[in-house]
Amino acid sequence: MPNSTEIKGDWEQLKGKLKQKYAEVTDDDLLYDEGKEQEMWGRLQEKIGKTEKEIKALFD
């Protein structure tokens, strides 16, 4: 499972993967603001019905 630093480094690629897999995910859901990572994970959890750990596992 990637850590926050790894996610930041590949964020554009990871966003594309999520949007391809889950059509309901929007660019607004994927806004990554420094210090607000938990808000983003919360939005994604609500949208796709998976835990943060499950979502991060998609990036492996």
- Write out pLDDT tens, residues 3-51: 666 666 677 788 888 888 898 999 888 887 778 888 988 999 999 999 9
Q: Which residue has the tokens 């309901």?
A: 24
Query: Residue 11 has what pLDDT?
Result: 77
CA angle at 22 for the pair 27 and 12, rounded to the nearest 5°: 45
pTM greater than 0.85: no
Q: Which residue has the tokens 């990637």?
A: 2
> Letter for the amino acid at 60?
D
**Tokens found for residue 46:** 């609500």
- 18 neighbors 11 (Cβ within 8 angstroms): no
